[in-house]
Amino acid sequence: MERIESLEQFQNIINEDQYSVMKFDTTWCPDCKNLDRFIGPIVEENDDKSFFAVDAEKFEDLASKYEVRGIPSLLVFKNGEKLAHLHSKFAKTPTQIREYLDTLK
């Protein structure tokens, strides 16, 4: 999963006419590391979406703007609009992630 390196990159991606899934995380978060262990096949199953990782500490302003209160959180954007937000307490298992992404089809 490609990591966001700039605000400009983030803006360009979320403005695209396709689903962009932004995984807000940090380097020290145990739940983030656990999600990373099983997210690969889920990304492959959802080839109609682009997936990116955003460091919530490096981009605190984005995390605040989009109401990321816990990590990991998965936010979905399309055409510059936030369409969905899977909060951290619901992003702990592959089933929870798959069910969340299935609502976007």
Choosing from 4, 14, 21, 29, the catalytic residue is 29
Structure tokens at 31: 């739940």
**Active-site hit among 14, 21, 32, 56:** 32
Q: Is 29 a catalytic residue?
A: yes
3-state SS of the chain: helix, strand, coil percent to 5? 40, 25, 35
d(CA 96, CA 2): 22
The four Cα atoms 7, 10, 11, 17 give a dihedral, to 10 degrees, of: 170
Side by side, the strands of the sheet bearing 19-25 are 2-3, 49-55, 19-25, 73-78, 81-86
Q: Clarify whether 27 is annotated catalytic.
A: no
Catalytic residue set: 29, 32
